[in-house]
Amino acid sequence: MWSAITASDVESALSGPELEAYRRVAGTSAGANDDKLAAVIAQVTDEIRSHIEDCPENRLGAAGMLPERCHFHAVVMVRQRLMNRLGLKINESRETEHKNALRFFERVSECKVKIESPDAGDIVTEAPLPQIETITGNVAQASREKLKGLY
């Protein structure tokens, strides 16, 4: 099942001290927190969708949605970027989780991790890329016969 990453998904992945620090540093109003967090979620979601799309075997779901299998790693990436953006300290175990998440998405790009297809009605069809004709070889296009008097 494909669904969007929410602010509550990310907040539930923060420890108590991380959540307090996030709320303190991000701003006193809830709107300031939401704007920063929403921007990071959107950025990470787009990046992950690009990794999914890199593998020709995968199909994308509706915009802003990720497969369930990717949620944990997506939240790890959001948490890491949020903490970095706010200048908060990240411990070694969080760094390891982040490296593992990055490796997971590299493997998705390489088609080494199977991603569930979205529901048939939610599949996004991308416009085909323009075709480029590649000419190889060094065959003369002009000859004395073809130029008739111009040579």
Averaged pLDDT, 88-100: 91
Q: What is the pTM of this model?
A: 0.72
Residue 104, pLDDT above cutoff 70: yes
Spell out the SS3 assignment of the chain: CEECCCHHHHHHHCCHHHHHHHHHHHCCCHHHHHHHHHHHHHHHHHHHHHHHHHCCCCCECCCCCEEHHHHHHHHHHHHHHHHHHCCCCCCHHHHHHHHHHHHHHHHHHCCCCCCCCCCHHHCECCCCCCCCCCCCCCCCCCCHHHHCCCC
Portion of the chain with pLDDT greater than 70, in percent: 77
Averaged pLDDT, 128-142: 64
Residue 127, pLDDT above cutoff 60: no
